[in-house]
Amino acid sequence: MSKVTKARGAGEMVWVSMVAGAILAAAGAIATVPTTALDFFAPGTQPGPLTHPLVSAQSCANCHGYYSNEHEPYALWSASMMGQAARDPIFYAALTVANQDAAFAGEMCLRCHTPGAFVAGRTADPTGNLLTDSDFEGVSCSICHRMVDPVYRPGISPPEDESLLAEFEYPVVVPGYPEYTRHGNASLVLDKLDRRRGPLPDPEAPHAFLYSPLHLTGNHCAACHDVSNPVYSKQPDGSYVANTLNTPHPTGGKYEQFPIERTYSEWAQSAFAQAPIDMGSRYGGISPMVSSCQDCHMPKIPGTACDPQFNPPQRQMPRHAFAGGNTWVLRSIHGLYPEYETGLTNETVDDAIARTQAMLAAASDLELIQDGNLLTTRVINQSGHKLPTGYPEGRRMWVNVKFYDAQDVLIAERGHYDDASAVLTGHDTKVYEAKLGLDAHASALSGKPAGESFHFALNNTWLKDNRIPPRGFTNAAFASVQSAPVAYTYADGQYWDDTEYWIPTTATRAEVRVLFQTTTKEYIEFLRDANVTDTRGQVAYDQWVLHGKSAPALLDLGTIDLSNRCPADFNNSGGTPDDADVAEFFAAWSEGNERADFNASGGTPDDADVALFFDRWNEGC
């Protein structure tokens, strides 16, 4: 592959900037909470000149790219959602809604998705209209490799960091808030000098470098992968109330703000953060042992950190792939922007999506258990955080069960998903998801109705969170980081979840799938319809349709033989059918319970079901 450097940014601004005029023109017509940039303040490096400016990823690619799509940093990073975070059409649609709902909320969003633009002062316009050139590189090389651990550790941290942190104007660590309790919302601490930090103690590089133990730990991910709304403060009763507007959060402590994402904290409270666990190489890489975020999302493989023409040593090289749970947006970005700006090709996009599918498949295991007329599905979380985790809006995982008879005819299905309409029938299965919303206080503040909501910048209450916790889960620990289950229960130590399904009378086998969807129909339609100041919502919706409506990804598939059972043992006692089974059948039949749909017709239980039940009961099974 040849090395190419071209002017950047022109194409990237085409559809992003075309909406700016519409935003400004319509701003006065929307009921927007009058927040200011101060309300969304977070500590860390603030806008202003660095002694040495951040460097474009294109510059890094000259040594760290264009030699191997399999292990070079540049090709893998550019085909990740980290590298494309500032080109994501779903992000821009959500950004517009956030700005409509609360003035300047978009700057908080942009600070995570394009930290370089924030430091350069180009997120002062919260619509993103000031972004240019390397701002669109999202979470770039310079950002990650100039990050300083905000917690100085004598004898471990680079000695240069002691004075750097001592004179830092807006420290992340302050008295009463130790370690990473204020680290989130992209509260990055960046080295003012271009000293590139990483996990290798002995690089042979033509630039200044520092060995950074931080880059080996999950703490490196804390700055961006805990997200909170600082407009709200936690109250003694557990509710969240808005602060006095036009002022920063009174403490800056993220666990005293409204929690939106807690991926880092979920990991920090898991068994993985305590010691390595043998996961059998399910996440790839050389070692089967997993502890840090990097062990799963940047597994080490043999390779070189830079172009072999420079004669670098062979190393165990962390793959800069950052595979996660986004199954389709890279294809959209590849279509919206020219290749010379994104660094994407058909091949690298296909490879990245394949890695995402593999990551999702590795994240869970499925067990099937039959007990008489009950089928139990057990979904086991094999990840280091909740499953699913991260951005809660529009993401869901569910169990799909298909029952077949002796002629291999499908007779019943639970958790059916219609590919054409993108509609999930969820009432008859388990759907793992988080649902947020507005309470009466937030409703009065914003003018939006109380209840379930996708209004990211306004939500101040959690209505549901049944996502499966990781190994090492305890209710007390997860409550301490605002990530306890909501409207659901998990026991301490539980990192799996069971769901029971009544087996239809004529079923002889079942196929069970665990499925995950990145962007639901409900969420994408919200983004389309709630965008009343620009076309970003329509762009996102059209891309969603064009690229398959975020087709569900398969995490697990299992089959089980169900032929050896007694359907007339309606109370599942395991004995010969008797009067107790008749009584339980009629109780279910009278309630219209689907268990009494004995002939699996799919309708309300009727006389035909009664007749078939007694036929089987009289036969003794």
> What does the DSSP assignment read for 51-80?
SS----HHHHHHHHSSS-TTT-HHHHHHTS
Q: What is the dihedral of CA 496, 497, 500, 506, to 10 degrees?
A: -50
| Distance separating alpha carbons of residues 459 and 445, to the nearest angstrom | 11
Q: Is it the case that residue 27 has pLDDT exceeding 60?
A: no
- The mean pLDDT value for 542-571 works out to 97
Cβ 81 vs Cβ 87: under 8 Å: no
Burial class of 416 by CB neighbour count within 10 A (0 to 12, 13 to 18, 19+)? middle
| Helix residue spans in 215-301 (DSSP H) | 222-225, 263-268, 293-297
Residue type, 172: V
The pair of three-digit structure tokens given for residue 219, joined into one six-digit string: 């703490």
- Strand-strand pairing, 209-211 and 196-198: parallel
pLDDT per position as a tens digit, 123-151: 999 999 999 999 999 999 999 999 999 99
Q: How does DSSP classify residue 120?
A: T
Q: What span, in angstroms and rounded, lies between the C-alpha atoms of 185 and 193?
A: 23
The closest of 221, 16, 218, 185 to 112, measured between CA atoms, is: 185
Give the mean pLDDT of the chain.
94
What is the model's pLDDT at position 9?
46
Looking at residue 7, its pLDDT comes to 36
Q: 329-336 vs 346-362: helix axis angle to the nearest 10?
A: 170
pLDDT band at 6 (very low <50, low <70, confident <90, very high): very low
Query: What pLDDT band is residue 294 in, cutting at 50, 70 and 90?
Result: very high
**Band (178; pLDDT cuts 50, 70, 90):** confident
User: 445-457 burial, b if ≥16 CB within 10 A, otherwise e?
Assistant: bbebeeeebbbbb
Amino acid letter, residue 404: Y
Other residues' Cβ atoms within 10 Å of the Cβ of residue 41: 18
Measure Cα distances from 66 to 69, 312, 347 in Å.
Answer: 8, 15, 14
205: nearest Cα among 82, 63, 335, 76: 63
Residue type at 381? N
397 neighbors 524 (Cβ within 8 angstroms): no
Given a cut of 80, whether residue 427 has pLDDT beyond it is yes
Evaluated on CA atoms 67, 70, 73, 74, the torsion sign reads: positive
Confidence of residue 204 (pLDDT cuts 50, 70, 90): confident
DSSP states along 316-338 = EEEPTT---S--SHHHHHHHHS-
Task: Provide mean pLDDT across the span 11-35.
Answer: 57
Choose between 215 and 603: higher pLDDT.
215
Encode pLDDT of 361-403 as tens digits.
999 999 999 999 999 999 999 999 999 999 999 999 999 999 9
Q: Is 491 exposed, middle or buried (0-12, 13-18, 19+ CB in 10 A)?
A: exposed
8 pLDDT above the threshold of 70:
no
pLDDT in tens, 40-62: 999 999 999 999 999 999 999 99
Phi and psi (nearest 5°) for 249?
Answer: -55, 140
pTM for the full predicted model: 0.94
For the stretch 297-318, pLDDT in tens is: 999 999 999 999 999 999 999 9
Question: Is the pLDDT reported for residue 214 higher than 50?
Answer: yes
What's the CA gap between 10 and 338, in Å, rounded?
A: 10
- pLDDT number for residue 31: 85
3-state percent helix, strand, coil for the chain, nearest multiple of 5 = 30, 20, 50
Segment 157-162 mean pLDDT: 96
> What secondary structure does DSSP assign to 394-462, as a single string?
T-EEEEEEEEE-TT--EEEEES-EETTTTEE--TTS-EE-EEEEE-HHHHHHHSPPSEE---TTT--EE
Q: Are 469 and 486 in contact (CB under 8 A)?
A: no
